[in-house]
Amino acid sequence: MLQVNFIRQNPDLVKERLAVRNFPKIDLVDTLLSIDDQVRKLKTATESIQATMNAASKEIGMLMGKGDKDAAESKKQEVASLKSEFSEKSVQLNELEAEFNKYLLMLPNLPHSSVPKGKSAEDNEVVREGGKMPVLSASAKPHWELIKDHKLIDFEIGAKLAGSGFPVYTGKGAKLQRALIQFFLDYNTDAGYTEFIPPLMVNEATAYGTGQLPDKEGQMYHVTEDGLYLIPTAEVPVTNVFSNEIVKESDMPVKMTAYTPCFRREAGSFGSDVRGLNRVHQFDKVEIIQLVHPDKSYGVLEEMVQHVEKLLHALELPYRILRLCGGDMGFTSALTYDFEVYSAAQNKWLEVSSVSNFETFQTNRMKIRYKDDSGKTQLLHSLNGSSLALPRIVAALLENNQTDSGISLPKVLHQYFGATSI
């Protein structure tokens, strides 16, 4: 959530950065400022009435002490009238504040100055590429055929148990999942990240804290009876570990990692993009999260990008890093880098990670703070990244490493999988 003081002091800058996002309701800024002006005037009025009532109440006591009952009674009538006026204005104030908060929540984060202009994924900027492109035979198969041939994943059983998009991993497919998860976690903890195992369901306040609510309400599975939401990413519960906390300077940066299943409705998805592991409703993902001093967040962002990049090097996958344009950014992000791996049999790039700096957008909602050198309480910056999401990693590993005799595995997975190939 944007900070109100920043909007007040920089309305033109806010509008300019929202335009980079192609945000369609830039006039909300003027609406907010108008409501904010009314709110502040009403607060001043109610405070003045309250002060007058307090003074009058004291005067009533003094008059009663002097035995001047008539004057005291007159003051009582004055206080009664003030109370009525105070009550009326308080109702107006509450209504205006609710309206203000409603509109404030509609505003996305402001893009960083380095975010390129653009309307869609086609306008994203390729930062760099790495890895060696595989050369496959003419008989190469896409991963959804390979998983059947090698009995790695059963989508039909998943559909019977839960519906489409809920794969069941079996045999060596389940073993490969465990191997990748353990490799990712070991890699992250070796880099100084503390591992968490969070709940897979969160309450409304937690989902609100990281910006899933109200923006992505329709994309989350909702347990209506208990008011809980299945998590779309470990980012949601893990970042909220520090909600309403003041982080000690000696504890910064806060570095956290977690493996969780993730649940996304992905409403409206269809076509070739959802075939096999390309898009599913339940999937495994390892996440990294940092809470850092505002002055250091963009250096940390680059550090996290390099961290994920080294993972893809280790997996021997061809990849590219994209800086997302304004029109393709997530609601909460100030700057996002996407990682894509090349899926050779499909002849397409598949997104496997997003690494983002949210600046104070999330921490303002969660009230994650620190004390600066002067002792003043300030908001930290939050960052997160996938390290990594498994479905498309598995798809690329299977497709890119298929041979006539099986599917070879990158060297880094041999000790985790207990074999060199599937």
Q: What is the CATH number of the domain that holds 73?
A: 1.10.287.40
Question: Is residue 76 located within the same domain as residue 36?
Answer: yes
In a domain, 140, yes or no: yes
Q: What angle do CA 99, 105, 108 make, to 5 degrees?
A: 140
Of the listed ranges 25-34, 55-64, 150-159, 358-367, the one predicted with least confidence: 55-64
pLDDT in tens, 63-121: 877 777 778 878 888 888 899 999 999 999 999 999 999 999 999 999 999 999 999 99
Q: 214: which 2 tokens?
A: 């109200």
pLDDT in tens, 293-312: 999 999 999 999 999 999 99
> What is the rounded radius of gyration, in angstroms, for the C-alpha atoms of the chain?
27
pLDDT, residue 359, reads: 98
Mean pLDDT of 338-351: 96
pLDDT above 70: residue 269: no
* Helix ranges restricted to H, 21-109: 28-66, 69-104
Question: Is residue 285 located within the same domain as residue 322?
Answer: yes
Average per-residue pLDDT for the chain: 95
Mean pLDDT of 166-183: 98
Residue range of the domain that includes 9: 4-104
In a domain, 261, yes or no: yes
In a domain, 80, yes or no: yes
pLDDT in tens, 371-413: 999 999 999 999 999 999 999 999 999 999 999 899 999 999 9
Mean pLDDT of 7-30: 97
Number of domains present in the structure of the chain:
2
Question: Is residue 90 located within the same domain as residue 146?
Answer: no
pLDDT in tens, 20-72: 999 999 999 999 999 999 999 999 999 999 999 888 888 887 887 777 777 88
Question: Is residue 260 located within the same domain as residue 199?
Answer: yes
Task: Tell me what percent of the residues of the chain surpass a pLDDT of 70.
Answer: 98
